[in-house]
Amino acid sequence: MEGHRQSGVEILLGVVDRLIEAPGGAAVATLAEGLAVPRSSLYAVLRPMLAAGWLEAPRRGMVRLGAAWFDLAVALEAEAAQPAAPSRPRLQGMTGPARSFLWNPGFTELVDAAPFARPPPHVFGFSNGSRANLWRQGLIHGVQFAAAEHADRIAALRIAHADDDPAAQARDIDAFRAMGVDALIVSPLETEALLPALARARAAGLPVIMVDRLLGDASHSLVQVAGPDTAIGRLPAQWLVETLGGRGSVVMMVGDPEIGPLLRRARAAREVFALAPGIRILETVHTEMTVASGRRAMAGLIGRWGDAIDGVWCDSGLHGAGSIQAWVDAGYDGRVPPHTGGDQNAVYQLAILHGVKLAAMDFPPAMGIRAVEAGLDILAGRTLPRRIEVHTPLVISRGCETASVRADVFVEDHVRWDRPPSLILGHGMGEDYDPTTFAVGKGAAADGGARSILRTLDILVWLKAHGGEAGIADLLEAVAMPRSSLHDLLGPLAGHGLLQRGGRGRILAGPRARAAGFAAIGIADLAAAAEPMLDRLARTTGGAAALAVLHGERCTIALGRAAPGVPPIAVGGRTPVNWTLAGRLLVAELPERRLRWLLAAHARPRRDVCKPLTLPELVAAIRAEGGQRVAALIGEAGPDLGEAARPIRGADGQVRAVLLLRVAAVDLPAARAMLEALDLPDSAPPVVPTDPLTEAALP
């Protein structure tokens, strides 16, 4: 490894080159050896590429090109700018004060933190009592996230996990006090064993912010940050009563009976049920707040009560997801009783997949973020409430609102199909948060090599968002770098072919970026073979031809050609798979559970269809259309237009892409015959990223 020391950008380009030739991925060790660089230097390049989606890690020690390259290739390929993809609906009411503050009939106790004011930077301590479930992980990540977001004022965040040991947490609190932290966040175990340590911290003038669980009276902390426990219990319970028409039998599933927030939720729900004389509580069970324990507990309830159960009240989706699964196991798929309980992504996914009416309020781990913000407010000497409740939206299945319980957001808009079932919602860390890859403070070294890598990725992101090209003046502002530095960086990138210079100061994505894009989804060979075929089809038929692939669970046009004067099939266009002939053929032969999940998550009613199909009807219709060598129809793309489509299969017989031909309706028979006669090349099976949701979310 002696001789020339490669820069970070040179390593990045080498990684891209090698992965274009190995679309299935390569071992990190193999890359390091092939590039003749130390693993530490290689990881300095791989980490930011992974974080930005330019690489993916299918398993430990392996990397492959990420889907972001395909998005860039499509942007470069498109003949016209595509409309921006619709953003996820913003959750109404996710910001601002909680309802409990706005609707409080009494007055709010305020705290004047002026005596605690001190200039930054600050050192925060976080004493965490437990890591017993996935929700706790979200809380911890929230504290870390907020500290990183306020790095200009927080010099260090020190964390200690007691792991359910009260004596250990008491020692942690004393240690933080002795270390001289400026503010201490405590998520306590609910035991009086902590009170002496908290009293010593308070006597030393250390501001304590209690979060999640509360301990003792207000004298043991300056501020308490909590979730709206009573609302989480009361509102879904009222919805359940009204959904059942005021009459029926319910079972209650409650977590640890010794945890305060859970007790408050259950008490609030029982108050609602007590005021509804037609509602009977058959039984209450306690679980360990996991999917597995909820599944076991509900299996027992079904065995004891069966069809007598009209509704299920759960204080959390951590075991609510297990409850739904138990009903499906028992043969109730499609007729599972109404449920409550949020928090975990799995409960929303399962409710949609199995047609379960659901009302939920996530217990927000974002209170970890709010606790850090409260600590900063205290150290700035501001006035703030003694008790801060973090708001969370009311989530209800579409079409299932009741007279007095209305949704802030619908289940179908709240669910995250692009994240694992284990994701805890209400985390407040942005759309890209993934607990499995969360990291703070990694891959952002301030040396010049790291800056060049990050700036290269910033340029690629900018080009991807702007049709594959941008002006140098725009890039200078977007990437925030001097003109001389940008030109120094563009030299090797253009020489490699990742970028190319256009006229009038324009920078475009280059041929290697395009190659990486098609390699990223395993169609590099297919794209090369399809291009001349599309040209020939468009010229011969006088129509438009395109290659469609399944990308991001939508039918995406990867390549397109059109005869002169004919409107093209827009390259880069993304549509729900059920909207187009090509999309339906792409998924028609998927395994049943995979197809059902994909349609439940991503199918959308066509705007020109009066009566949308149910999920079983849609599955049957798509199955009927698939299996043909060439499928054809008239009128879907336009009143006088016909489309013919032929699946392109790999060596394993699976559909990799669809060749689509759009012509005048009168020319459709000839177009269909032309597709029938094509001698399509055999090719290797596709390299398709495994979606963890597919199996994890389904029975």
Q: Where are the strands (E) in 255-357, listed by range?
A: 279-286, 311-314, 339-340
Say how far residue 476 (Cα) sits from the centre of its chain.
Answer: 31
Nearest CA among 456, 450, 453, 560 for reference residue 507: 456
Rg (CA), the chain: 29
In Å, how far are 92, 97, 169, 205 from 195, measured between CA atoms?
A: 39, 30, 11, 16
Residue 148 backbone dihedrals phi, psi, to 5 degrees: -65, -40
Residue 105 backbone dihedrals phi, psi, to 5 degrees: -70, -15
The predicted pLDDT at position 449 comes to 55
pLDDT of residue 461 exceeding 60, the answer is yes
In Å, how far are 36, 149, 238, 267, 332 from 233, measured between CA atoms?
A: 59, 32, 9, 8, 26
Instruction: In whole angstroms, give the CA distance from residue 459 to residue 333.
Output: 48
- Indicate the helix (H) or strand (E) that contains 446: none
DSSP label at residue 366: T
Instruction: In whole angstroms, give the CA distance from residue 129 to residue 210.
Output: 11
What residues have CB less than 8 Å from 60, skipping those under 6 apart?
A: none
pLDDT of residue 230 exceeding 50, the answer is yes
Nearest CA among 545, 477, 543, 466 for reference residue 507: 466
Range with the lowest mean pLDDT among 231-240, 292-301, 417-426, 431-440? 431-440
Helix axes 448-465, 67-77, angle to 10 degrees: 50
- Beta strands 506-509 and 387-389 are unpaired
The predicted pLDDT at position 373 comes to 93
Instruction: In whole angstroms, give the CA distance from residue 226 to residue 365.
Output: 9
Tokens read off for 385: 């409430």
How many other C-beta atoms are found inside a 10 Å radius of the C-beta of residue 95? 9
For 127-171, how does the pLDDT look when each residue is reduced to its tens digit (9 = 90+)? 999 988 788 899 999 999 999 888 889 988 888 888 889 998 998
How many other C-beta atoms are found inside a 10 Å radius of the C-beta of residue 388? 23
For 276-318, how does the pLDDT look when each residue is reduced to its tens digit (9 = 90+)? 999 999 999 999 888 899 999 999 999 999 999 999 999 998 8
Tell me how far apart the terminal alpha carbons of the chain are, to the nearest angstrom: 51
The predicted pLDDT at position 477 comes to 58
DSSP codes of every residue in 186-253: EE--SSGGGHHHHHHHHHTT--EEEESS--SSGGG-SEEEE--HHHHHHHHHHHHHHHTTT-EEEEEE
Place of tokens 């290269």: 456
pLDDT of residue 363 exceeding 60, the answer is yes
pLDDT grade, residue 82 (50/70/90)?
Answer: very low
Alpha helical stretches, state H, 397-440: 411-414
Q: Higher model confidence: residue 547 or residue 92?
A: 547
Alpha helical stretches, state H, 87-183: 99-102, 134-149, 166-179
Q: Higher model confidence: residue 194 or residue 217?
A: 194
For 557-591, how does the pLDDT look when each residue is reduced to its tens digit (9 = 90+)? 988 999 998 988 888 778 888 889 999 999 999 99
Instruction: In whole angstroms, give the CA distance from residue 35 to residue 18.
Output: 9
Most confident option among 81-95, 251-265, 671-685: 251-265
The predicted pLDDT at position 64 comes to 92
pLDDT grade, residue 523 (50/70/90)?
Answer: confident
Residue 245 backbone dihedrals phi, psi, to 5 degrees: 70, 25
